[in-house]
Amino acid sequence: MGLLALDRRPGVLLVGLDRPEKRNALDEAMVDEIDDVLREAARDDPAVMILHSITPGMFVSGADIGELRDRDADDALRSINAGLFERLEAHRWPTIAAVDGPAYGGGCELALACDLRLCSPAARFAQPELNLGILAGAGGNWRLAQLVGIGVARRMLYTGAVLDADDALASGLVDEIHQSEHLVDAAVDLAESVGRRSWRALELTKLALRQHRPATTGFDVAAQALLFESDDKYQRMTAFLERRRR
């Protein structure tokens, strides 16, 4: 696929994000390609899905700000990223994020939507949306708090605090740390371990666990629609893009 590299193995599906010129920033084209993979994988033989980056030292820098700046309330109500992460979390089989490098904004929310997370020492996690005049409306407002606790979530959301790999492990945001050169292999080993269980029991266990997670997605989508129309959002994102160009 154009922005993804797929590697199918018995019981394992590796989905490599491959947009290095934009630091794997999530634009609508990449969202659509991941959606296509999810649909096909749900019909294919059971497999644990691993999301990783083809480029070492890079996971997902966030949503594509150049595209996000021009989205309006109608775009927000389409739930472009939030809808993808809902479908990723609801995928029939377990999913693993292998995070090497920054996972900011939508990149952190992408990792949060996976069942398990491994990272390298170079991993960094942050939710800087409030600095851009929007909110973490694709799951950061609730998945983060449920995973790391309300105190850490408040610090990350209110201040844009960045968690390094050790902080992420201590807070429960990630499950294991591995050196970058071994990260994907460790994710495959974990996927193979998971895949030795009953696939039907795994599927039903995922369904059972989803009953325990209250979500704020409906509110987040409506709030994001309001923020997407604000001058503050446009000015902050324009300033961000200008700083990055310099």
> Per residue in 105-163, pLDDT tens?
999 999 999 999 999 999 999 999 999 999 999 999 999 999 999 999 999 999 999 99
Express as a percent the part of the chain with pLDDT over 90.
93
Instruction: Please report the pLDDT score of residue 58 as a whole number.
Output: 95
pLDDT of residue 230: 93
Helices and strands per DSSP (H, E), number in the chain: 12, 9
**Position of tokens 């019981």?**
11
Give the pLDDT score at 118: 98
242 catalytic per annotation: no
Q: Going by DSSP bridges, is the β-strand pair 95-99/176-177 parallel, antiparallel, or unpaired? A: unpaired
Q: Which helix (H) or strand (E) holds 164?
A: strand 163-164
Q: Which of 28, 33, 40, 109 is catalytic?
A: 109
CB 80 within 8 A of CB 122: no
Q: Region 187-215: what's the mean pLDDT?
A: 94
Q: Which of 70, 82, 35, 65 is nearest to 222 (CA)?
A: 82
**Confidence class for position 1, pLDDT limits 50, 70, 90:** low
Report the chain's mean pLDDT, rounded to a whole number: 95
- Residue 34 is encoded by which pair of tokens? 């991941």
Residue 217's pLDDT is: 87
pLDDT digits (tens, 9 = 90+) for 152-187: 999 999 999 999 999 999 999 999 999 999 999 999
Examine the pLDDT at 96 and tell me if it is beyond 70: yes
Catalytic position from the list 129, 176, 192, 203: 129
Residue 67 pLDDT level (bands cut at 50, 70, 90): very high
For residue 42, the model assigns a pLDDT of 97
Q: Which domains does the chain have, with CATH numbers?
A: 4-181 (3.90.226.10)
Mean pLDDT of all residues in 204-214: 89
- Give the global pTM: 0.93
Residue 129 is a catalytic residue: yes
In which band, very low, low, confident or very high, does the pLDDT at 212 lie, cut at 50, 70 and 90? Answer: confident
Instruction: Return the ∠ at Cα 151 (arms to 148 and 152), rounded to 5°.
Output: 50
